[in-house]
Amino acid sequence: MHTIEVTFNSALKDPFVGNKRKEILGLGLPVQSVKEIFLYTIDKEFTKKELTSLAKELFSDPLIQEFSVDKSMLNKFHWDWLIYVNNLPGVKDNVGDRSQEAIEDILSVEFNKGEAVYTSKYYLINGDLTRKDVDKIAKEAFAYESVESWHILDRETYSEKGFTPEIPKVLIKHQPQISEFNLNTSGELLKLSKQKNLALNLQEMKKIKEYFSKIDVIKARRKMGFNEKPTDSELEVLAQTWSEHCKHKIFNAYVTYTDGVKTEHVNSLFKTYIRSSTEKLQKKLKWIVSTLWDNSGVIQFNDKYLFAFKCETHNSPSSKYPYGGALTGIVGVYRDPMGTGKGVKLIYGTYGFCTSEPNYNGPIKPEIHPKRLLEGVRKGVQDGGNKHGVPTPYGIVFFDNGYLGKPAIYVLAAGIIPRTINGESGAEKQPNPGDLIVMCGGKVGIDGIHGATESSMEGGAHITLGHVQMGDPYTQKKMHDFLNEARDKCLYTCIQDCGAGGLSSSVGEMGYNFGRKGGAKGFKLYLDRVPLKYKGLDPWQILVSESQERMIVSILPEKLKEFMKLAQKHEVESTVLGELNSSGKFHTIYNDKPVTFLDMHFVHEGVPQLELEAKWITPQTRGLREPQIPKIKNHTKFLKEMLSRPNIAGKEYIVRQFDHEVQATSVIKHLVGEKSDVYSDGVVIRPDFESNKAIAIAAGINPKYSQIDTYHMTANAFDEAIRRVIALGGDIKKIVLNDNFCWPSPLPGKDNPDAKYKMAQLVRANRALFDYTIAYGTPCISGKDSMSMDATIPDLNGKKHRISSLPTAMFSSAGIIDDYKKCVTMDVKKPGDLVFVLGETYDECGGSEYYEMFKEIGLNVPVVRAKKTVKLYRALSKAIKKGLVASAHGCYKGGLGIALAQTSFAGGYGLDIDLNSIPREKINDEDRILYSESASRFIVTVSKKHEKLFREIMKGIEFGLVGKVTNNRTFTAKGLQGKVIIKENIDILKKAWKEPFGKM
């Protein structure tokens, strides 16, 4: 074993050290300096000469770094405290893996099994600190408990005893075995489920017991070498497949809903509201190609390509290890469209970070402070997207302290597939009996065991950390390029993501769901052929491990050779694991021993339907009222305060750290305006250089309205996602959505007294989804739910609190743009242009930023008036297509006041606005006109020469000419009495908007 240490020499300041120091100061601890030393520990024998050459040629930069070989540098530097941070065993070490590859190249050697390179770090700290302080630094700034270990030494102890780092080598001293379970012990079923962390309820365990006691099942299994008892693997397969994560049991439950007056029954929210809406619309909209069966929905993009997208959440892992959770999330969601149809080329990703406020300073003490959490998930998506070569052009950030328990971390992926490949539709896949099952990508380890079952559980100490992982975008990018080429050469018949549930789910689905018309139904899989990271895994672990960066393909035997050759060129490990057949069985084998033999039908359809009660309590009954709020005295000051609110203020630092322009497809960016620093309503990318068609990308979310009514919360989020696309120049006839529900658990239990109410909130949200998708004609083609947004965490005094997030529905939208050259942005363009407000303003401040400023919720939640809205959206699309609109900006959080200010300071010109001319209904109060959050409104500027045509197109729409763009930098608004109530320099307004996150 050898260690090479590398550190920056005195030529340059190490920028990370500066950042680390800032972080420590942020913890309120006095630190003078920090130095970082990087350790590469090579678990293989080399000569001193070889090692020195490696240190020089590979591990260090001669201009800015120094190194030492097999002799620590620690004595060379002055320090008071040392923190040594190392990975926990089994956590993926990407730098270590790549170092090994490079050493093999340089020295022309091969690493044997068990030999590897490990990386770790020393932090050398100077400062008047106690051991307790240093421990806090390690825990809260340098290391994550869930994936790293640390060791603290003071200088004196080091001088006396020295320090030898240990490598986190995984050594499982265990002979792999297959265990059996006796289900015939009455009353022990639930205990078994808990013991094995299966997350199966009693009803489900009983169903399993019943299956295994069926005569024909016993007979068939005996023939294959089993006895009547199920194996551990069989229970695990069922637990994974039947998990909430995979089977969406809550969305498929039989629900009895009452609002106190009448009672209704809903047999599956998914089928009743989501599936039926999508199916209805698909019949009407011929450009929708494929929905509801594959990994994501597919629509036509242009005459050459199809488009697919999917948004996922990665909440549980991100709450434990924000960086790794979000990284694994984005890299993982990429595999959804990669496994859709014949497999996409990825064209963009987006993000959504719902956390509690970064400055949270309340009594509840989450394991990871929201500020660190937000930075961690941001960095995770950054590395996942940037290193995968996929632009991350858009996203949202939303703060609410309900996310203290669990954050909602969204990741979306989109891609294009050729419409036809060798005469077949790019959206089709056809696994045949006799096809070989091939696993591509990473090796399998114990990391990520039980991801599907654990993400379906509530957060808290009982969660083991098997599901916290480290994604590797590099490995997956190679696989992506490889599979795109294999697809175009028609080398595989079916492709499927290997994600939650591991091989159990991916091969399980390939051998069941995709085999249409004579396709495969059943498979035989040899678990001993699965390439492992280390020895000692039990067959059940191999079967359900969620080790990342893997895809499963099925291949005609005669294509295998060519497939493997291409895999070799791209350096993508690919292994034949078995074959598909038509047996109808989930059959796995390990070293000739039978492991599972289950009916595919039982695995996929056997899960019993949940029955849930839902009880709606009206907002009035819950005590919500319209509050008495003092009149705004100083409107200019108030506007600036509103602009600085965390959920309104700009977060440019987040946008800039994502590569949002790779692939050269970016045509409207998220930051626009005179200085390219104000949020646009959404973004536009043009994925095919040969076509003017493009995709407008946005999202809508506002869980605050859930406090009043989740029906309207959902309607507003939905409308916002569409409104943003319309503002860019989209067309309501060509917009599709992805729905994401992040909900506090509606499952009854003694610690969940209002489960029925939460279920009723979910019912109402789904009704809104149905009503508005149908009314707008914009279908949800993909979607996902996460039904355990709860956690139990301690406060300062150690008292435990159950924290549930607000019910959160997010809609991600994608609108097909016919000609990207016609798109518009939100910034005003030139003095003299007329300012119009489209859509009416109502007294709808319930759940608004304005009320929240006064710590009120209110009652009058914004109502989306579908009929009027659709008419307005059509008219605005038409006006933009005709080139009549200079700028268009939707009104979102903070209402008109915020939107007017933004459009003005983005464009670098002042506005003269008269509030009297704002179209409105039953609202005669300046405060409310400015800050009501009524849906479906825009601010549009139009050059005088286009006024007449514009007005013609807007006939029948509620709109008003409210002012004009001025040739100065002053934003002015006249109140209802004709008096100027806001007057401020736009640079000062912009500063108020930018400042809260300006130094991040």
Partner 1 sequence: MRKVKVLVLYGHGINCDNETSKAFELAGAYAEKVHTNELIENSNKLDTYDILAFPGGFSFGDDIAAGKIHAVKFKYRLRENLSRFIADKKLIIGICNGFQIMVKLGILPGIDNDYWTEKVTLTFNDSGKFEDRWVYLKIGKSPCTFTKDIQGLYLPVRHGEGKFYTNQGILNKLKKNNLVAIRYVGANNEKNPGYPFNPNGSLDDIAGICDPSGRIFGIMPHPEAYIYKENHPRHTREKLPEEGMGLKIFRNAVKYVKDNL
- Chain residues binding partner 1 by CB under 8 A are 11-16, 18-19, 57-59, 61-64, 94-95, 98-99, 101-102, 105-106, 382, 386-389, 472-474, 477-478, 481, 569-571, 653, 655-664, 666-669, 671-674, 676, 686, 689, 820-821, 823-825, 827, 829, 907
* Angle in degrees, CA 711, 715, 716, rounded to 5: 120
Q: With respect to partner 1, which residue has the nearer C-beta, 654 or 708?
A: 654
Minimal distance in Å, beta carbon 65 to partner 1?
9
Minimal distance in Å, beta carbon 825 to partner 1?
5
Minimal distance in Å, beta carbon 19 to partner 1?
5
First to last CA, the chain: 41
Pairing of strands 65-69, 2-8: antiparallel
Q: Quote the DSSP letter at residue 293.
A: S
Minimal distance in Å, beta carbon 950 to partner 1?
18
Q: With respect to partner 1, which residue has the nearer C-beta, 480 or 645?
A: 480
Minimal distance in Å, beta carbon 421 to partner 1?
18
Minimal distance in Å, beta carbon 644 to partner 1?
22
Question: What sign for the dihedral angle of Cα 244, 465, 324, 399?
Answer: positive
Q: Nearest-CA neighbor of 705 among 643, 787, 785, 647?
A: 647
Minimal distance in Å, beta carbon 735 to partner 1?
21
The per-residue b/e assignment along 89-102, b for 16 or more CB within 10 angstroms, e otherwise, is bbbbbbebbebbee
* Residue 146 contacts residue 321 (beta carbons within 8 Å): yes
Using CA atoms of 196, 201, 205, 208 in order, give the dihedral in degrees to the nearest 10.
-110
Residues, the chain, total? 1000
Minimal distance in Å, beta carbon 77 to partner 1?
20
Contacts of 407 (CB under 8 A, 6+ apart): 315, 318, 319, 322, 353, 354, 355, 356, 370, 373, 377
Question: What sign for the dihedral angle of Cα 818, 820, 825, 828?
Answer: negative
H/E stretch holding 324 reads helix 322-338
Minimal distance in Å, beta carbon 61 to partner 1?
5
956: left (phi over 0), alpha (psi -120 to 50) or beta: left
Minimal distance in Å, beta carbon 301 to partner 1?
17
Q: With respect to partner 1, which residue has the nearer C-beta, 92 or 767?
A: 92
Minimal distance in Å, beta carbon 764 to partner 1?
40
Q: With respect to partner 1, which residue has the nearer C-beta, 73 or 671?
A: 671
User: How crowded is residue 864: how many other Cβ atoms within 10 Å of its Cβ?
Assistant: 25
Q: With respect to partner 1, which residue has the nearer C-beta, 44 or 529?
A: 44
Minimal distance in Å, beta carbon 487 to partner 1?
16
Q: How far is CA 746 from CA 377, 400, 753, in A?
A: 27, 20, 10
Minimal distance in Å, beta carbon 597 to partner 1?
41
Pairing of strands 671-672, 666-668: unpaired
Q: Nearest-CA neighbor of 259 among 761, 769, 902, 857?
A: 761
Looking at 391-488, list the stretches that DSSP marks H as alpha helix, in order from N- to C-terminal side.
451-454, 473-488
Owner of token pair 């990665």: 314
Q: With respect to partner 1, which residue has the nearer C-beta, 463 or 906?
A: 906
Q: With respect to partner 1, which residue has the nearer C-beta, 272 or 392?
A: 392
Q: How far is CA 545 from CA 19, 505, 536, 578, 650, in A?
A: 36, 10, 13, 18, 40
Minimal distance in Å, beta carbon 736 to partner 1?
23
Contacts of 940 (CB under 8 A, 6+ apart): 835, 836, 837, 838, 876, 879, 885, 887, 888, 889
Pairing of strands 887-890, 938-942: antiparallel
Q: With respect to partner 1, which residue has the nearer C-beta, 381 or 463?
A: 381
Using CA atoms of 182, 183, 189, 193 in order, give the dihedral in degrees to the nearest 10.
60
Q: With respect to partner 1, which residue has the nearer C-beta, 220 or 671?
A: 671
DSSP notation for 866-932:
HHHHHHHHHHHHHHHHTT--SEEEE--TTHHHHHHHHHHHHHT--EEEEGGGS-BSS---HHHHHH-
Minimal distance in Å, beta carbon 941 to partner 1?
11
Q: With respect to partner 1, which residue has the nearer C-beta, 25 or 106?
A: 106
Q: With respect to partner 1, which residue has the nearer C-beta, 98 or 139?
A: 98
Pairing of strands 523-526, 585-590: parallel
Q: Nearest-CA neighbor of 341 among 365, 383, 306?
A: 306
Q: How far apart are CA 299 and CA 290, in angstroms?
A: 7
Minimal distance in Å, beta carbon 821 to partner 1?
7
Minimal distance in Å, beta carbon 419 to partner 1?
19
Pairing of strands 611-615, 666-668: unpaired
Q: With respect to partner 1, which residue has the nearer C-beta, 58 or 853?
A: 58
Q: What are phi and psi for residue 717, nearest 5 degrees?
A: -65, -40
* Residue 470 contacts residue 549 (beta carbons within 8 Å): no
Q: With respect to partner 1, which residue has the nearer C-beta, 237 or 835?
A: 835
Minimal distance in Å, beta carbon 36 to partner 1?
12
Q: Which residues pair with 574 in a beta bridge?
A: 440
Q: Which residues pair with 760 in a beta bridge?
A: none
Question: What sign for the dihedral angle of Cα 704, 705, 710, 715?
Answer: negative
